[in-house]
Amino acid sequence: MTSNAFNLSKILDNGTTNISSSVIASDIAGTYLTQIANPAALSIANNTPGDKVFSTSNNKLFLWTGNAWVTMSTTNEFPNVPTGILDNYTLATDGTPTSITAVSTDPDGTTVTFSYETIGLLNEAAIAQADNVFVVYPTTNTSYGGTFDLIIKATSNGETIGKKTTFTLSF
């Protein structure tokens, strides 16, 4: 008899929590696991502890404990690339700040948090962040013109994706 750990490993890709639909469809559907379109169709009657059901609508694997269905594993998707960010910005030499409001969602429906990193930023500007709003304050010192990159990052469930933009300050 094959262990449940082995059965579960057959439907997971390379030790991750991503479930391979093709393996379910070709190798184990109807043998080790039932496949349904929507978790709302999970029955609470006539189940045996250890029954497993894969929902194709949300890529979740459910296990019947004898009392309830619990999620065994989910597919964790990256958040969407942040939008609301131009590819290039020219900073004002009079010190007027540039404000960017980044927008991103996670296909899994989990909360997205934002952060940033800079590449090549010396004395051209200072950056402030409040949630998904980034404000770039350029210097007015004519000795500090230049170019730098700002990468605005969206993170959800440990997955991070970013959008790079280039800032130029020319006196």
- Supply the CATH classification number for the domain 88-169: 2.60.40.10
What strand order describes the sheet that includes 34-36?
34-36, 52-55, 60-64, 69-74
Tens-place pLDDT, residues 67-104: 888 877 556 778 999 999 999 999 999 999 999 999 99
What are the pLDDT digits (tens) for 2-48? 334 444 444 444 444 444 444 444 344 444 678 888 888 887 788 88
Task: Report yes or no: 169 and 145 within 8 Å, Cβ to Cβ.
Answer: yes
Q: What are phi and psi of 23, to 5 degrees?
A: -70, -40
Please state the domain extents for the chain.
Answer: 4-74, 88-169
